[in-house]
Structure 1
Amino acid sequence: MTQQGVRWTADQVLALASDAASREAGRGLGVAGPWSGAGGSGDGAVWGLCEGSGGERYRTVADVSDASGPAYRCSCPSRKVPCKHALGLLLLWAGGESAVPRGQPPDWAERWIAARRGRAEPERPAEAPGADSPPGSPPADPQAAQRRAERRAERITAGATELEQRLADLLRGGLAGVQQAGYGLWEETAARMVDAQAPGLAARVREAAAIPSSGSGWPARLLEECALLHLLGRGWLHREELPDALAATVRSRIGLPAAPDGPPLRDDWLVLAQYDTADSRLTTRRVWLYGARSQRTVLLLSYGAAGRAPDLALPPGLALEAEVSAYPGPGQWRAALGERFAPPARTSIRPAGLTTAQAAARYGDALRDDPWLDAVPVTLDRVVPAPDGDSWQVADADADAALPLTAAARARPGLWRLVAVSGGAPVKVFGELGHQGFTPLTVWPAGEGPAVPLC
């Protein structure tokens, strides 16, 4: 795949074919003759009617906007994914806008596109290109699903190998020329990782692209990010030699799909925090929960179309009795919300807290299991927000230790809410702690009082 809205080359399209016969058949349909009503949305959706041998017109639609891989739907009886009509349509589209002009999709194509994008989850990609079934449903053809998984693994291996070579070339040439090379160098590498169906690698490459313009000390930060990229690529290439838990973490970081496999855990779950992040396609909602009995912290993820809030809404300070099931991998915080036994209600429950030193130690322990971890959830007990020169920190009220706040936290209005709730007195604060510092998300005042969201 390439960037959203950028047309593919014919070679990229033909690389999707499941065999040589499909490639040849697709080439034969990659011309205007058999097609009518062909069009594209400009953001990765393509559709058209293809004339069949019996005079029947097959409805064909493809969506190449998702970083987890392209998907297709065709009314023909072929069981190949993609079928020759989907290949032909994408070849026609690759030829330019004169063959496939921009326009509004017909109803049958629009319904499929809307349904597919409404299901999209960037951190949990579709099982395989062409999958149309709802999340969690068994594949229609397990053998075909296995073959698609094997083909994807081969593509990821090729991508990881290529990334290793690109990193070696970058370091061999030295970091001094990276600023002059500009963003294009990184975006082209990220596009190659998307081609390889490794969205996790692509995302980390794009994050590295912003480092050369991030201010003083960027060469050291870029070298650190390159080392993590190298570690993830090598982890994939040697995944069969890793312990099962670490191999599961590598697969997750690469971007392969996973399903919750832990036994359901029933508890009274306190909602610690809820906040949204958005891009051009999706709104992602993160909800942190704390089990009153298990003392376990878990993360729920939900998604909505761009500009639309996800359905799941659990304001901080409420608690609900429910079951959650964990996803695989050591140090994995993510879980799936299962059966609910009572509606969310106000509660006096507060999470157990740590000192700043204990929180830092928790982050260090978590990095042993997942070196690519950005942050861990922690609750700090009896801390006071205080200025630290041009920055801010949260300091232990009972010890000479503190954690710096992240730049993102300092830029939010929530910082002043935290300062106001504290008023110079110790408070309990929940947030995310990573290598850039602590990001407070919710605060509880001293004594009794409801949780106050900071985001």
Structure 2
Amino acid sequence: MTQQGVRWTADQVLALAPDAASREAAGRLATAGPWSEVGSTDGGTVWGVCRGGGGGPYRTVVDVADASGPTCTCGCPSLRYPCKHALGLLLLWTGGDGAVPEGEPPAWAERWVTGRREDAEAAAGAETAETGAAETGAAGAETAETGAAGTEVAAGTAGDASGSVSRTRDPVAARRRAERRAERITAGATELEQRLADLLRGGLAEAEQTGYAWWEETAARMVDAQAPGLASRVRELGSTASSGPDWPVRLLEECALLHLLDQGWLRRDRLPQDLAATVRTRVGLPATADGPAVRDQWLILAQYDSVDARLTTRRVWLYGTETGRTALLLSYGAAGRAPELTLPVGLSLDAELSTYPGGGRRRAALGKRFAPPAPVEIRPKGVTPSQALARYGSALRDDPWLESVPVTLEQVVPVPDGDSWQLADASGGTALPLTPAFGNRAGLWRLVALSGGVPVQVFGECGHRGFTPLTAWPAGPGQAVSLT
């Protein structure tokens, strides 16, 4: 339950699903038929018993008023979180047709909610005490945590790149470790420069003949040099070769960007502070959210996952309704597991954020939360397509390797453009092409149906490949619609 007794929408519930299969299964459970003993409280608890097909019934409880985000428990054996039963129960609850009446929770539901909240309070108290002790006993110590979109975790490097938060009581030893790692990265970047030069000297046609093994071997050398960011870009180069029409052009462009990153690292002492921090992050060095904590009502703009063989990366975009800032939260799940951070799109979160170093300071760490997500009528400020392109161009000055920037387009209409689609300015100005990948998603048809030829407001990512819509709002009053 959100503030003022307002229920979530179905889109906000489905945004919590870890994958498409869970969303589909939850839709089948969003009817009263499989459920019994359902109910809810104004305090934010929803419960029910689902008739299961593999050994049920399953007791399901969801606490949507937890300040740390919605939590749930279910008797089913599913490894997905939230499971289909929790999502189906929430979808049934969002209907608001009396299918989930308000009442007193049964003992089994009350025990779980009470225990969950007591554990959360105890954990918060322990974390506060531990943080205070660490700050007192380790003044001036370094903090190492996962950086650069989790590349250390993905690469599986050891030592300083363990991907976990570590504090040392010996700043001299920490500085020596940092210096040794910097030397290894420098050696790796120098070797990579030579390999790129050999590739270009022999001609890009050779890249088609060498196959992927050469790129993978080069990436492994960068992992050995503790530069997982360089390794990730090398692997992308390997997938670009022979990847379709005009692949030599794309490969040359990516080689140029990798060369630029190499040179940025080798000459990092001559760069402005923010650009040097961006280079360190792109190479794969850990970073700390050292920006001051900023409290705001953060509108949850979008949430989506990127999955590879090593890691699931969840991106959550937030918009400060008072500061007007847009921030990115990153969360990770290893070995096919969904990341823990889950925030419902369209609601707002009263919380503190601290930014990471680098150009633009978009990425942030979520700090203290003061209340559970709640509805808000405010929408982010929008710009025209031409202004969105100008914003991306300006951002490239601070981070030349930036794939895209977060942008809200105001008064745009989705229109077909041959075999693809674009978002056209309703005033008759410019238009932005949609990225090819989005054109194959169901989100495109949700956007077209929401618009119906009428201008809408769309939040997404604008980059050199086009615009990727993530969330849209109707022309008049209405809730945010997730397009991911």
TM-score w.r.t. the length of structure 1 is 0.71
Q: Deviations over 1:243-276 (max 9, x none)?
A: 1111101000000000011111111100000011
Match of 2:222 in 1: 193
Counterparts of 1:279 and 1:227 in 2: how far apart (Å)? Answer: 25
Q: RCO greater where, 1 or 2, for CA within 8 Å and sep 6 or more?
A: 2
Match of 1:286 in 2: 315
Counterparts of 1:398 and 1:279 in 2: how far apart (Å)? Answer: 41
Conserved? CA contact 1:278–1:306, under 8 Å: no
Match of 2:409 in 1: 380
Q: Deviations over 1:222-250 (max 9, x none)?
A: 11111101100011001111111111010
Give the letter for the 1:267 counterpart.
D
Match of 1:398 in 2: 427
Match of 2:391 in 1: 362
Counterparts of 2:387 and 2:147 in 1: how far apart (Å)? Answer: 34
Structure 1 position 300 matched with structure 2 position 329: yes
Match of 1:431 in 2: 460
Q: Deviations over 1:304-341 (max 9, x none)?
A: 23232222111110001111001001223100011111
Equivalent in 148, 163, 176 of residue 205 of structure 2: 176
Equivalent in 376, 379, 383 of residue 347 of structure 1: 376
Match of 2:347 in 1: 318
Counterparts of 2:385 and 2:408 in 1: how far apart (Å)? Answer: 9
Give the letter for the 1:139 counterpart.
T
Where does structure 1 lack aligned partners over 5 or more consecutive residues?
1-118
Conserved? CA contact 1:391–1:410, under 8 Å: yes
Conserved? CA contact 1:272–1:442, under 8 Å: yes
Counterparts of 2:281 and 2:396 in 1: how far apart (Å)? Answer: 15
Structure 1 SS opposite 2:314: strand
Count residues with an aligned counterpart.
337
With 150-159 and 301-310 compared, the bigger mean Cα shift is at 301-310
Where does structure 2 lack aligned partners over 5 or more consecutive residues?
1-144
Conserved? CA contact 1:267–1:293, under 8 Å: yes
Give the letter for the 1:220 counterpart.
V
Counterparts of 2:259 and 2:273 in 1: how far apart (Å)? Answer: 20
TM-score w.r.t. the length of structure 2 is 0.67
- Relative to 1, partners in 2 of residues 1:254 and 1:387: Cα closer, same or farther, differing over 3 Å? same
Q: Deviations over 1:148-173 (max 9, x none)?
A: 21111111000000011111111111
Match of 1:82 in 2: none
- TM alignment of 1:67-106, pairs within 5 A: none
Counterparts of 2:282 and 2:356 in 1: how far apart (Å)? Answer: 13
Match of 1:449 in 2: 478
- TM alignment of 1:21-420, pairs within 5 A: 123-124=149-150, 125=152, 129-130=158-159, 135-420=164-449
Structure 2 SS opposite 1:210: helix
CA RMSD of aligned residues (A): 1.9
Structure 1 SS opposite 2:340: coil
Conserved? CA contact 2:148–2:285, under 8 Å: no
Structure 2 SS opposite 1:189: helix
Q: Residue 209 of structure 1: CA displacement? A: 1.0
Give the letter for the 2:186 counterpart.
T
Counterparts of 2:398 and 2:229 in 1: how far apart (Å)? Answer: 18
Q: Residue 140 of structure 1: CA displacement? A: 4.3
Counterparts of 2:307 and 2:249 in 1: how far apart (Å)? Answer: 29
Counterparts of 2:321 and 2:197 in 1: how far apart (Å)? Answer: 49
With 341-350 and 439-448 compared, the bigger mean Cα shift is at 341-350
Q: Deviations over 1:6-25 (max 9, x none)?
A: xxxxxxxxxxxxxxxxxxxx
Q: Residue 135 of structure 1: CA displacement? A: 4.3
Structure 2 SS opposite 1:316: coil
Structure 2 SS opposite 1:349: coil
Give the letter for the 2:290 counterpart.
D
Match of 2:39 in 1: none
Conserved? CA contact 1:279–1:306, under 8 Å: no
Q: Deviations over 1:353-406 (max 9, x none)?
A: 010000000000000110000110000010011110011111111123101111
Conserved? CA contact 1:246–1:370, under 8 Å: yes
Identical columns (%): 69
Structure 1 SS opposite 2:298: strand
Counterparts of 1:191 and 1:312 in 2: how far apart (Å)? Answer: 31
Q: Deviations over 1:395-446 (max 9, x none)?
A: 1111231011111111111111111111111000000111101100001011
Counterparts of 2:169 and 2:157 in 1: how far apart (Å)? Answer: 12
Conserved? CA contact 1:133–1:139, under 8 Å: no
Conserved? CA contact 1:376–1:434, under 8 Å: yes
Structure 2 SS opposite 1:213: coil
Q: Residue 214 of structure 1: CA displacement? A: 2.2
